[in-house]
Amino acid sequence: MSERLQPGDVAPDFTLSDADGNEVSLSAHKGRKVIVYFYPAALTPGCTKQACDFTDNLSLLADAGYDVLGISPDAPEKLGKFREKENLKVTLLADPDKKVLDAYGAYGEKMNYGKTYLGVIRSTVIVDEEGKVERALYNVRATGHVAKIIKDLGI
């Protein structure tokens, strides 16, 4: 379990496979702002709501200079099914070994119904054009989160 990122930190670079098996790197987005969001599992109600919210606001975010990358520990094949079923436009990336989730502090202890376990902490990290963390939000809610980001960023 790694430390949570703070504003001003250099965002850890990564290269992960998307739903089609293509490699996507954070460094390829240099010069653009990137919203990197971490979610527990494709095809689940909360994660579907969040991915649909990002998809619905993708053009607004893109016009404001933001790219959006969603990362979960799911395999690329499952991400493909998720994208097709929900008609998602957001780029979904697979992190099955949880290395990127860990590097961003988005994997760790969680509590549910009084039981502690390791899992994905729903998080969003906003990376500036230079690759530095602008904002790091942890334990966010799936519902209403995208609207809050848009409001907080003044978009």
Which residue among the candidates 5, 11, 16, 47 is catalytic per the annotation?
A: 47
Find the helix or strand (DSSP H, E) in which 110 lies: strand 107-112
Which one-letter DSSP state was computed for residue 54?
H
Which residues, 6 or more positions from 90, have their beta carbon under 8 angstroms from its beta carbon? 51, 54, 55, 58, 68, 69, 70
47 as an active site residue: the answer is: yes
Report the C-alpha gap between 63 and 65 in whole angstroms.
5
Virtual torsion, Cα 96, 48, 54, 39, nearest 10 deg: -30
Active site residues: 47
